[in-house]
Amino acid sequence: MASITIRNLDDDIKQRLRVRAAEHGRSMEEEAREILRRVMGESAPPRNLAAAIRSRLAASDRADLELPAREPMREPPEFGREN
């Protein structure tokens, strides 16, 4: 098995890991392994950009805006012609 060293870990995170490990009756190292197993076991996020954006913008997050009615296009200008 491989091992890793985590440098520059915030003191707050280390303390929370210590408390969480104690709550589950495990060592900090075993708790970290369990967290990694659980997170890495989850399905990968969508690789499709459109799907990722769609999942972020759920229907409840949208604002329904009323679009103004379109007006007919005006006639294009005529250049170089005299009346």
Report d(CA 17, CA 55) in Å as an integer. 30
Per-residue pLDDT at 34: 92
pLDDT in tens, 2-34: 889 999 999 999 999 999 999 999 999 999 999
Single pTM value for the model: 0.49
Per-residue pLDDT at 61: 62
Q: Report the length, in residues, of the chain.
A: 83
